[in-house]
Structure 1
Amino acid sequence: MIRKKHSTETASRYDEMHGAGGRVREAWQPLAEALGAMSSQEYARRQDAAQSMLRDNGVTYNVYDEQDGQSRRWRLDILPFVIAPEEWEKLEAAVIQRARLADALLADIYGPQKLIADGVLPPHIVSGHPQFLRPLKGVEPPGGVHIHLYSVDLARMPDGGWKVLASRADSVSGIGYALENRIVVGQVFSDLFRDMHVQRLAAFFQSYRESVQGLAGPGRAVLLTPGPHNEAYFEHAFLSHYLDLTLVEGDDLVVHDDRVFLKTLHGLERVSVIFRRVDSDFCDPLELRSDSALGVPGLLQAVRAGNVVLANSLGASVVESPALDAYLHAVSHALLGEELVIPDIPTVWCGTEWGRQEALARIDRSILRGAFDSRPLFSRRSTARLGRELSAADKRAYKALLTRRGATQVTQDVVPLGGAPIFADGKLTQRPVSLRLFAAWTKNGYVVMPGGLARVAENETVRALSLQSGAVSKDVWVPTPGPVSTFSLLKQTREDVAIVRTGNSPPSRAMDNLFWLGRYSERADNLARVLRAVVQRLGEGAPADPAVHGFLAGLTESFLPARLPRKDGLLSDLRSLISDRTNFAGLPQILGCVRRTAWSARDRLSLDTWQTIHLMTEPDVLPPTNRPFDSAEALSSLDMLVRRSAAFAGHCAENMTRGPNWLFTDLGRRVERAQHLAWLVGRIAENGELAESERIRIGLEISSSVMTYRSRYMNIFHMAPLLDLLLLDETNPRSVAFQLIAAEKSLEELARLTPEGQGTAAVKFAANLRGLCVRPSLLDDLATDPASLKTYLAEVEIGAAGISDALTDAYFRHAIRRRTGSREE
């Protein structure tokens, strides 16, 4: 049975779960009863199951200021945050009011600016805001709607009331993570979720998508992301899947004749709706930030022409300003004629003499923030320990800052956060919590998502929560006394639908990423097989036979950059290639390329495929560099990597439809394998001290062709049958001939799927290469004339690179980017 852990530190907080005398609040009673009947071990098992689902789904929230922050896993506490139905009605009304107010405020700021003319708002709060986009002054968005998705962060006061901490109206984040939390927690507590009649979220997402698309004319709807390095990229990829949108980056879009187009394999395709997750000032490098590599040149002109719907409209971050909080009650009266249902935390703008004096008077209970930025700048608790007064020097610095830059500062009272239940150390306790709720515009007004994203601190002293700072998330449950909607975005309809075998034409950049995913994954597999063959013969020390040692050393040296200094021979080389994360030619770097490229194409990969890539590229797959090289440990890691690489290849072969996604991934694999086989045969055929039979054995093992060779030739090892098997045998998936024929077929299929003539040159190049390199009559020359063999292998390597170039010329001209770790940059 799980018991509550009492703490004197939490006495002053509003306890979300317990009321007076420790009595469980009515809305929480079903959850409390379930927890009371659950052992700590069972709860821990469910928490572990949730974390496993998040890990398998690749749910992350990237953090910039951490080592390895780019792969931080999403943190979820499975104990939901419950909101009673009667309380939800008030919160729902407050969020709708806030969304209406923010939209009306933007209409005035970019329109007549009556609030400034009437003295309701100081001019500096608008004109001084860095994100006030003057090029959009006087531009009315389609339908007159500025804000299509809105969020508000709330804090519970000790008396049970609520205060607004902040709002988001520009690039709203968190909604996808809230949905992911719901999916996971709904599975972990499936019976409880059903018994409590928790409201579902799908109808909200449908309203959001369909309402925005209803404002536009014909054309593609896309979700614009800053890319895989953004902290919320998982959310962007997840939402694009869920909302059936094409995930794009700025480079995928182009503006012609004041219209936005998507660069696809079929050419340019009209875009009518952009669900935007790029901050406004980064969206157009021509008219906004010239240093932005995330936006679309000319996008503002398309907006001014009314040819594209942006959700949300550009420039919306101006209403997120903390300085506006000081005037929002007056703005609400002026624009809506209403009192705020939930007030903001007490805020003072320091741009007036009164404001500066008031800020000094509040110094012991307030925090200083930028007027246009919510990050804290100066607070009592940042300069003195709790319970002590500021020093005279601190006060002088505070006053000097206000005098010098008062117009860019606000003070906000520090408010306590309510306490949410959390399971820690085998007991129930509570931690500070804030609540983020979301509203979406519809033709019938704003609607609020019946749930949200709760964020819980890790300790009692935290007063401001953010996912960047390490807060733990919670699902938000809103029970209803009535029936629960069973609507799903995935539900079947009775309407007849047209049968199709292809989807929308994919973006060129996405196909470029899949092509390189195939190349990088095959490159990792090839290197792992070579290193495994070497380590197997190494044992606990160097091979006794100098000829074997020399051949193995030659194999590893081939993968080491010439400019990389070598220290201790073969063992050092192996450690560098297997574990050294600074060696750009080693396995850690190549697996990093696999992961990054797969992450960039996340929306094109099935869940099973992504989970396999995740397992294949986890940091702990390879041994660390901080301990001596251990051949047994290295061999175990390489075996695991080869198996997981094979699993990924199997997912691609068996689970991907034979459309562009598979074709480009497979082409990357064929190009890389052909080059690798040419290199491998060249190493085997070299005249060296090691006997030819032993070189052949090693080559067959690396190329995974041992069984096939033995079934045909027993243990008679000669060069001619090896050359036939690895170069010319069209039935061997590990032969050059197989790769070239497969590449030619894939290119032919791509040419069929794309506009006439687009891939003709690539098909011709592959056909000519196959004609030169796939002829049984070549065998005599290759087996008897070393010069002919050398020329042939060079033609294969150069020809495979030529296929890659021809593919780029035909399909990737819009998407060419420098690839780190590639052989062709």
Structure 2
Amino acid sequence: MISKQPPSPQSGQSQVQTLHSALDYPAPGGLLDETRDADGALKPGWDYLLGAVRDLGPEVMRNREEKARRILRDDGATYNIYGKPGSASGSWELDPVPYIISSDDWSQIETGLQERSELFNLILRDLYGPRTLIRHGALPPEALFNHGGFLRACQGVQLPGDHELIMHAVDMVRRPDGSMCILSDRTQAPSGSGYVLENRTVMSRVFPSLYRDSHVHRIASFYQRLRHKLTSLSPSGDLPRVALLTPGAQNETYFEHAYLANYLGFPLVQSGDLVVRNGFLWMKSLDGLKRVDVLLRRVDDVYCDPVELRPDSQLGVPGLLEIVRSGRVVVCNPLGSGALENAILLKYLPGIATLLLGRDLRLDTVKTFWAGDEADLAHITRNIDKLIIKHAWRGSGENSAFGGDLNEEQRTALLARIHHSPFDYVAQEKLDKPYTPAFNGYNLEPRPTLLRTFAVATDSSYTVLPGGLTRIGTSTNGQLISMQEGSPSKDTWVIASEPEREVTTEASIDSLRLAQESPVDSLPSRVVENLYWMGRYAERAEASMRLLRTVFVMLNGEDRITPDATRILLETVSQITYTLPGFTAATPEQLANPEEELLEIISDGNRVGSVRSTINSLLLAADESKELLSTDTIRVINDLQDALDNLDADLSGGLASAPEEALDPLVTSLAGLAGLTQESMIRGVGWRFMDMGKRIERSLQTIATVRGLLSEACGETEQATLLTAMLTSMEALITYRRRGRQQRGLELGADLVLLDRTNPRSLLFQMERLQEHLAELPNAEPLAGELDEENRCLLEAMTTLQLTRVPHLLQVAGKRRPEVETLMTQLAGLLREFSRFISDKHFDHRSGPKQLFTNTRSGS
């Protein structure tokens, strides 16, 4: 085993030699090594790659690896790891040493995978059609009808053309004789192809010369063929609308869903974005309902229709299966294709291949035993310590287990379950995974390796992705490879024997034609709603932090502020953050020692209205609209997440250690986000709603600040303090001082934040921008020139504000300024009504119909 220790410092040429030798990769003794043939010589492709890595040296490799991590982070590449406290979303891990497959080797793999996809396509058509496999005894009926992935409701459903199975993924390992052996098939919603594309993009940027000189097969044509195939399946003819259905931002591979939707040019939709009406599937958009012709799904079969399949599903579309039967929408892969993930099929696959293809398969499948067969059950019982035990249905929730890793009690309990439900379990021989080199930060070490690759149906057969998603173990010791356990990935390089020529395929030409001819798809209203709230939360967080920074500076400043000014400032903090009652019900002692409450307002993520809670809501809204955000925007959002993660450490010193500086990175990131949305986003409907959210929230924050700081009449000293706080938090203090050479005082300050059209933070400025947006929204023109409700609210608010006379507004009665309180309350009410009308008109909040009965028996 190669040492993980860094090389010891030396000088001159000897140091260079030591660094280079640290990246030598000798054959790992006693392990199955992918890099060498039977004679111990490096295989074609590996010799050049390992030589290039050795020449780069550890320091350069570390720098390249760090660059890869930055690119992945900037792209927002994540894999959500369930059940990991404090980290719902994990960064995608990419090892900088690719996995190499020679062109000759790949040719055999590719042919075998095409053959396997053809076979599985025939099996799928048969299982939901004539079932000749069962009639001829090639598959026991119990193996099919007892399996949770077989859906009787999908009987007779057939896609147009020769292919039922559109996408097919297989996991495979190399055996000691050099051949590939298939471990499992993925047919419901095969994941990983988007990560393949991301890995390739990153590696070609980080190692451009190595990538170019290695003559790596390009993979773009695979995705072009996928797009072409999906559009060709449309039952409506020209210019079809294809949508990608995702379970949502909490799904483990959500990044991939958004990434593929962007790359393929399809809208990314969730269940709430779709509705079945008048016998068709529609997408809810701001422009109304848009017909969907083809649905590329990333939702498992049983969750796709709560009416006919699983009644408790929130991920599917009620009535979807009925219109699939009618042929008015095509779902890929077809509903019911989870039956092909039945591990029992692998036992009978050789006989099925002989029956359907008339020959043996070129690629072997792992030896599989089914407990439903008496002879196999006896074999499993005798040899459980040498076998991997699996539930036949992946959706069972039961993990596979290697009998040799179990103690006697665990093996006995497992055998009891097998004998109780023998039809539900299979056992497979344990295949040792081969090892490939991985970079550990100092040198190369062997890691166990598993390859997943993909095939997509074409007009005549299947096209196999020239590469795939290679996954490796987290260490040399052990064979466990699991993305949920943090296993890294590798880019897979299929090495051509000569430089690959750029070929423009018919698929790519058709793809470009569709891209040019297709109208711009309307956005799902859910996405627009999340952009709207993204704008609101961003502005709410920024306004809260600007006032908090101002308060911190004043509380810790050399000029002590009076108790009355302190009380008013702290009460205003509670009001604009909505963390009520907070300081509005504080005792004199709490007002004199506000540290605990202020720190909670910033960092308590469980407290609605806190800075952390608001930014978390912003990040969630950004996740839900990720497919519309640019790379730079995602990078700024990642910066925001990093600053939020460091917040507790930055606040550890409390009020005594300049807490305002802990907020600076967050405010800077939010300012960067605001700048990007203003300067880099196309002025489409998505941008308009994001900016509307921002303008509404800024208006409400301005109103709350003015009401909090100006409603109470104080002494001259207190009033100067409160005015300074208001102008500082609203970025207007410098303008106030410049204009104050002619006029200075409360009137000038109020005029700046309420009525100054040249001030981008004034209340009137926000209302005028909202009026501009309203005129450009879909259905903006009411019938017969009559004002709709949102225009009425906004016009009343603008008119009321413009009719205001600042001297009259600031008149004092007793110890209050009643006109300030009255006007601010009225404007806040109108703007909230305006927001409600916008939401009701453009965003959909209705829940779909649900299945009336609760029986969830499989296949019912």
Q: TM-score band (shorter)?
A: over 0.9
- Residue 450 of structure 2 aligns with which residue? 434
Report the Cα distance in structure 2 between the residues aligned to 1:307 and 1:532, rounded to whole angstroms. 58
How far 1:492 moved relative to its partner? 10
2:101 maps to which of 71, 74, 83: 83
Q: Is the 8 A contact 2:531 2:621 kept in 1?
A: yes
How far 1:697 moved relative to its partner? 0.4
Structure 2 residue matching 1:129: 3-state secondary structure: coil
- Residue 636 of structure 1 aligns with which residue? 661
Give 1:702's aligned amino acid.
Answer: S
Residues 663-703 of structure 1: per-residue CA shift (max 9 Å, x gap): 00000001100000001011121234662111100000011
Report the Cα distance in structure 1 between the residues aligned to 2:471 and 2:786, rounded to whole angstroms. 51
- Residue 443 of structure 1 aligns with which residue? 459
How far 1:806 moved relative to its partner? 1.3
Superposition RMSD in Å:
2.8
Per the normalisation by structure 2, the TM-score is 0.89
Q: Is the 8 A contact 2:525 2:843 kept in 1?
A: yes
- Residue 822 of structure 1 aligns with which residue? none
Structure 1 residue matching 2:654: 3-state secondary structure: coil
Structure 2 residue matching 1:141: 3-state secondary structure: coil
Report the Cα distance in structure 1 between the residues aligned to 2:363 and 2:513, rounded to whole angstroms. 47
- Residue 66 of structure 2 aligns with which residue? 48
- The yes-or-no answer on 1:510 pairing with 2:527 is yes
Residues 467-489 of structure 1: per-residue CA shift (max 9 Å, x gap): 11211000000111244243689
Structure 2 residue matching 1:429: 3-state secondary structure: strand
Give 2:520's aligned amino acid.
Answer: G
- The yes-or-no answer on 1:593 pairing with 2:617 is yes
Structure 1 residue matching 2:359: 3-state secondary structure: coil
Report the Cα distance in structure 1 between the residues aligned to 2:547 and 2:62, rounded to whole angstroms. 42
- Residue 174 of structure 1 aligns with which residue? 192
Give 1:731's aligned amino acid.
Answer: T
- The yes-or-no answer on 1:709 pairing with 2:709 is no
- Residue 415 of structure 2 aligns with which residue? 399
- Residue 33 of structure 1 aligns with which residue? 51
Give 2:659's aligned amino acid.
Answer: A
How far 1:634 moved relative to its partner? 2.6
Residues 640-681 of structure 1: per-residue CA shift (max 9 Å, x gap): 221211111111111112210110000000110000000101
How far 1:553 moved relative to its partner? 2.5
Relative to structure 1, the CA distance from residue 502 to residue 309 in structure 2 (aligned partners, 3 Å threshold; closer, same or farther) is closer
Which moved further from structure 2: 326-335 or 282-291? 326-335
1:149 maps to which of 162, 167, 172: 167
Relative to structure 1, the CA distance from residue 734 to residue 425 in structure 2 (aligned partners, 3 Å threshold; closer, same or farther) is closer
- Residue 687 of structure 1 aligns with which residue? 713
- The yes-or-no answer on 1:746 pairing with 2:773 is yes
- The yes-or-no answer on 1:480 pairing with 2:496 is yes
Q: Is the 8 A contact 1:276 1:310 kept in 2?
A: yes
- Residue 388 of structure 1 aligns with which residue? none
How do 1:161-560 and structure 2 match up within 5 A?
161-216=179-234, 217-218=236-237, 219-373=240-394, 376-384=399-407, 391=408, 393-394=409-410, 396-486=412-502, 503-539=520-556, 545-558=562-575, 559=577
How far 1:212 moved relative to its partner? 1.8
How far 1:77 moved relative to its partner? 0.5
Report the Cα distance in structure 1 between the residues aligned to 2:685 and 2:659, rounded to whole angstroms. 37
Q: Is the 8 A contact 2:324 2:330 kept in 1?
A: yes
- Residue 15 of structure 2 aligns with which residue? none
Report the Cα distance in structure 2 between the residues aligned to 1:757 and 1:432, rounded to whole angstroms. 71
Structure 1 residue matching 2:470: 3-state secondary structure: strand
Structure 2 residue matching 1:255: 3-state secondary structure: strand
Residues 329-386 of structure 1: per-residue CA shift (max 9 Å, x gap): 11111111221212121110001221210102222210111011285444323324xx
Identity %: 32
Relative to structure 1, the CA distance from residue 538 to residue 153 in structure 2 (aligned partners, 3 Å threshold; closer, same or farther) is same
Relative to structure 1, the CA distance from residue 755 to residue 309 in structure 2 (aligned partners, 3 Å threshold; closer, same or farther) is farther
Per the normalisation by structure 1, the TM-score is 0.93
Give 1:453's aligned amino acid.
Answer: L
Structure 2 residue matching 1:143: 3-state secondary structure: coil
Report the Cα distance in structure 2 between the residues aligned to 1:242 and 1:666, rounded to whole angstroms. 26
Relative to structure 1, the CA distance from residue 187 to residue 152 in structure 2 (aligned partners, 3 Å threshold; closer, same or farther) is same
Report the Cα distance in structure 1 between the residues aligned to 2:49 and 2:26, rounded to whole angstroms. 21
- Residue 838 of structure 2 aligns with which residue? 807
- Residue 578 of structure 1 aligns with which residue? 602
How far 1:465 moved relative to its partner? 1.9
- Residue 725 of structure 1 aligns with which residue? 752
Report the Cα distance in structure 2 between the residues aligned to 1:40 and 1:18, rounded to whole angstroms. 22
Q: Is the 8 A contact 1:575 1:625 kept in 2?
A: no
Give 1:808's aligned amino acid.
Answer: S
2:807 maps to which of 765, 775, 780: 780
Structure 2 residue matching 1:274: 3-state secondary structure: strand
Which moved further from structure 2: 489-498 or 374-383? 489-498
How far 1:460 moved relative to its partner? 2.8
Relative to structure 1, the CA distance from residue 491 to residue 678 in structure 2 (aligned partners, 3 Å threshold; closer, same or farther) is farther
Q: Is the 8 A contact 1:263 1:508 kept in 2?
A: yes
- Residue 136 of structure 1 aligns with which residue? 154
How far 1:540 moved relative to its partner? 8.8
1:68 maps to which of 86, 93, 108: 86
Give 2:22's aligned amino acid.
Answer: R
Q: Is the 8 A contact 2:94 2:489 kept in 1?
A: yes
Report the Cα distance in structure 1 between the residues aligned to 2:460 and 2:754, rounded to whole angstroms. 67
Give 1:383's aligned amino acid.
Answer: L
- Residue 106 of structure 1 aligns with which residue? 124
Q: Is the 8 A contact 2:305 2:317 kept in 1?
A: yes
Report the Cα distance in structure 2 between the residues aligned to 1:200 and 1:501, rounded to whole angstroms. 27
Residues 718-755 of structure 1: per-residue CA shift (max 9 Å, x gap): 22112211111222111111111111110111146799
Give 2:697's aligned amino acid.
Answer: E
- Residue 609 of structure 1 aligns with which residue? 633
Q: Is the 8 A contact 2:387 2:404 kept in 1?
A: no
Report the Cα distance in structure 1 between the residues aligned to 2:48 and 2:265, rounded to whole angstroms. 36
Report the Cα distance in structure 2 between the residues aligned to 1:705 and 1:4, rounded to whole angstroms. 58
Which moved further from structure 2: 779-788 or 729-738? 779-788
- The yes-or-no answer on 1:795 pairing with 2:818 is no
Which moved further from structure 2: 481-490 or 270-279? 481-490
Give 2:527's aligned amino acid.
Answer: A
Residues 206-234 of structure 1: per-residue CA shift (max 9 Å, x gap): 01110121121243111111111111110
Which moved further from structure 2: 237-246 or 193-202? 193-202
Q: Is the 8 A contact 1:120 1:331 kept in 2?
A: yes
- Residue 676 of structure 2 aligns with which residue? 651
Relative to structure 1, the CA distance from residue 466 to residue 496 in structure 2 (aligned partners, 3 Å threshold; closer, same or farther) is closer
Q: Is the 8 A contact 2:228 2:510 kept in 1?
A: no
- The yes-or-no answer on 1:3 pairing with 2:26 is no
Q: Is the 8 A contact 2:568 2:709 kept in 1?
A: no
Q: Is the 8 A contact 1:265 1:508 kept in 2?
A: yes
Structure 2 residue matching 1:412: 3-state secondary structure: strand
Residues 523-562 of structure 1: per-residue CA shift (max 9 Å, x gap): 1101110111111123399956434432332233333634
